Amino acid sequence: MSPRRWTAFLSGSALLLGTVATTAALPASAIPTESHCGTEASGSGNNGFVNHAQLTNTLQRIERSTGGVVEVDVAGFSNQGREIYTARVGEGDTVVFVESQIHGNENHGTEALLNLLQQWGGATPEAAALREEVTIVAIPRLNVDGGERDTRQNEMTWDDVVADFPQLAGVEPAWNYNSRVDGFDVNRDFNPDLDYIPQPEDFPGNSADTGWYITPEAQTVRDVYRGLEGEFGTVDYFVDLHNQWSCYATEDQKNMSPLSISAKFIDDPSEFGTWPKFDMEASKRANVAVYEALQGHGESGYGDLTLYPQSTNLPGTALGSFALRGSAVVLFETSSQTQYDGMKRNGMLRKQIEIGLGGLVDAVADGSIASVDPTVYDTIPQRVFLPAD
């Protein structure tokens, strides 16, 4: 299905999956920079987004309604014992691994994935053709504990880590541990060496270091990724769905930017060892496929996406570690977080993820990803922080 046909398919097949997608996706429009973009806490938090029980019920309903075409499994458990689910659809030779809500207060990717999984598992000829070419494996919500309490971090103390890894007794806590909320930024707990065992001398570390796989959430992602490598050889694409602050504009400062994307998370691959599969050009092509899928929507705001800062060097993120292992990586940073915006613009923000991610998967399935020009990536406008002065 071409990106244009995919967009039409999405627009004509809005789904109401129990509590999912209860906010209608109103027609998008460009957002002028003088608009108030939500810089004060709204107080609504994660109210209105699916909670863990609703997520469980919705995934079960998707599996049931697709006759098992979408296969739902428990991949692991959080520190508080909640299930971390995977949903798998398709039987193609190319694998797309999608992770959402590694930060508990970043919900829109989860809502978008639930809609996409239903569509990818559907009975349409387009969905069936896509499934023949691509295998999609999704973790709709990784940080299930943080999702319940609406925090960026998971719910885990440093004492919990030491109990799991006694060799870390007496070591200064990892730099990504927040003692105020007793939790870790899970997206700094990754390492390109999937067999890494935490060593005392590697703590506390910093943002330019690799992580340690000390949280059960990161361990779950590692285990899923390792399994896919064993099955496919290389995990061809890895997509991470996030949210960012609300107030960013396009480079010309004419409109607000509702989304930033990125392919770059590693400055120098050789700094972290020998990783011959690292392929920045493949990551750029994947990001351009997202960018192009979101263009051509008239006066909508979907085309106003921007580049996430390209000075980023974060080997301890899932994106950085998996890029080193050869995955083409795509970051989605949707402009909204629960503590500032709650459900504001939920329909529009969810839909742009569906269109962008759907366009990428479509390009992979029909092979057009191979002809995408990676140099377009460097022409995508940079995001501008507002207020600009």
pLDDT at 9: 39
* φ, ψ (nearest 5 deg) of residue 240: -120, 120
The residue whose two tokens read 């109103």 is 26
pLDDT at 297: 63
For residue 291, the Cα-to-chain-centroid distance in whole angstroms is 16
Superfamily (CATH H level) for 3-385? Zn peptidases (3.40.630.10)
pLDDT at 8: 37
CB 74 within 8 A of CB 85: yes
pLDDT at 15: 37
pLDDT at 328: 98
The residue whose two tokens read 């759907």 is 358
Q: 83-89 and 134-139 as β-strands: parallel, antiparallel, unpaired?
A: antiparallel
pLDDT at 22: 40
Predicted TM-score (pTM) of the model is 0.89
DSSP 371: G
Q: Which residues of the chain have pLDDT under 70?
A: 1-46, 296-300, 337-344, 346, 387-389
Number of neighbours of residue 157 by Cβ within 10 angstroms: 15
pLDDT at 303: 85
Q: How far apart are CA 134 and CA 132, in angstroms?
A: 6
Residues 292-324: tens digit of each pLDDT: 999 966 556 788 899 999 999 999 999 999 999
Q: How far apart are CA 314 and CA 375, in angstroms?
A: 23
Radius of gyration of the chain (CA): 20
Q: How far apart are CA 347 and CA 302, in angstroms?
A: 12
pLDDT at 339: 57
Strands (E), the chain: 71-77, 83-89, 94-100, 134-139, 177-178, 183-184, 237-244, 248-249, 259-262, 306-307, 328-335, 384-385
Residue 267 CB contacts under 8 Å (≥ 6 apart), including other chains? 313
Q: How far apart are CA 222 and CA 211, in angstroms?
A: 12
* φ, ψ (nearest 5 deg) of residue 55: -60, -45
* φ, ψ (nearest 5 deg) of residue 56: -60, -50
Q: How far apart are CA 319 and CA 153, in angstroms?
A: 18
How do the domains of the chain map onto residue ranges? 3-385
CB 153 within 8 A of CB 146: yes
Alpha helices (H) in 134-279, listed in sequence order: 144-149, 158-164, 216-232
